[in-house]
Chain A
Amino acid sequence: MAIITNEDVLNAIRGRYQSNPNNVSDDAAQAELVQIKTLLSGIESKIHTIQNGTQPAAVELKGSYTTQSSIFTRALRISSQNTTIFRPAGAKGCIIYLTVYGVTGTFGAGQGVRLRAQLQGIKGYRFGDIYTDPQTTSNRSQIIMLYPGATDTNVPAADGGSRVIAPIYAPPRILLSLLVNGTFETGQGIDCEVDIEWLYG
């Protein structure tokens, strides 16, 4: 006569003596498994869609950051300068700063120092042309800001400063000019510099 031990009883409960031993039914586990399979199926479907190129990866950057660099270093200037700047990868907008420390010389109407930003497309052709106002005041700054949704509503301009704010993305290229107009004797000029702050995110 076989002796049935406690272990045999437990094994029977676990299904060890069933025709399909591991086919133990657990409604809660089954329901959870179905949920997991559904979730995996959805993820797999999205991966295939992205791999096929029919939908870009849904990447969302959290937070934002900026970088700064000098465009025209601080110097005493009596003539204009220009350079082409290229939008760094990932940058969404920018602020171009003209800092004017000191100004001497003789200036007619419409003369002084100012920024000009010629906005260019990916092939280098212009589609926009931005000027700030000519400035002859010391200790002031000018900015050109390009950023989606940007606005200067309710922010009065400082006397002698100038700004242009456009609610657009920074273009791939900007032909940036520091325009200086006036008559200068020896030792006179405009002590100024230009920097750019790239805005990401």
Chain B
Amino acid sequence: MVVWLGGIELTYPDYEYVETSEKTSPPDLEEYGTGWEYWSDRITPDEHVAVWRRIALGKSISYSTNEVRKT
């Protein structure tokens, strides 16, 4: 995922996500492993969950500057 911010190219991470019942309950270590950060909540008429994210395994994050481009 690439994001253009005023001439700065940010290669946005390809995240993977898991959900838990609330922000105070991080993803289970044994089932999901480590590296999760709390992203935000999702609220629907049927549920209220906490969404966690981490950079997908095998993906890399890179930040670089570039000349301004039109998008």
Interface residues in chain A, defined as those with a beta carbon under 8 Å from any beta carbon in chain B? 73-76, 101-109, 112, 136, 138-139, 185, 187-188, 191
Closest Cβ of chain B: how far from A193's Cβ, in Å? 8
A74 CA to B15 CA, complexed, in Å: 11
Distance, CA A187 to CA B18, complexed state (A): 17
Q: Which among B26-34, B39-47, B60-68 touches the partner chain?
A: B39-47
Known: A73-B1, A138-B51. Contact between A101 and B41, CB under 8 A? no
Given A191-B15, A191-B17, do A105 and B42 touch, yes or no (CB 8 Å)? Answer: yes
A101 CB contact (under 8 Å) in B3, B15, B40: B15
Also in contact, A185 and B40, with CB within 8 A (given A102-B51, A138-B51, A191-B15) = yes
Q: Could you tell me the distance in whole angstroms from the C-beta of A118 to the nearest C-beta in chain B?
A: 26
* C-alpha gap A136/B43 in the complex (Å): 9
**Chain B nearest Cβ from A169, distance in angstroms:** 34
Interface residues of B, CB < 8 Å — how many?
A: 19
Is the pair A103, B51 in contact by a Cβ cutoff of 8 Å?
A: yes
Q: Is the CB of A107 within 8 A of B1?
A: no
- List B contacts of A191 (CB < 8 A): 15, 17
CB-defined A-B contacts under 8 Å, sample of 9 = A75-B3, A101-B15, A101-B16, A104-B40, A104-B42, A105-B42, A107-B45, A108-B44, A138-B51
Q: B43–A109 contact, CB under 8 A?
A: no
Give the residue of B12, B15, B42, B45 whose beta carbon is less than 8 angstroms from that of A108: B45
Q: Are A102 and B15 in contact (CB under 8 A)?
A: yes
> Top 8 closest A-B pairs, CB basis?
A102-B17, A104-B40, A106-B43, A107-B44, A138-B17, A74-B1, A188-B40, A104-B42
What is the CB-to-nearest-CB distance from B40 to chain A, in angstroms, rounded to a whole number?
4
- Contact between chains at B44 and A102 (CB < 8 Å): no
Q: CB-nearest residue of chain B relative to A187?
A: B40
Q: Are A136 and B51 in contact (CB under 8 A)?
A: no
Q: Taking CB as reference atom, which chain B residue is nearest A100?
A: B17
A182 to B41, CA, bound (A): 13
Which of A75, A76, A104, A112 interacts with B41 by CB under 8 Å? Answer: A104
User: Contacts A102-B51, A104-B51 given: A138-B19 contact, CB under 8 Å?
Assistant: yes
Q: Find the A residue at minimum CB distance from B2.
A: A73
A75–B44 Cα distance when bound, in Å, is 22
Contact B16 A107 (CB under 8 A): no
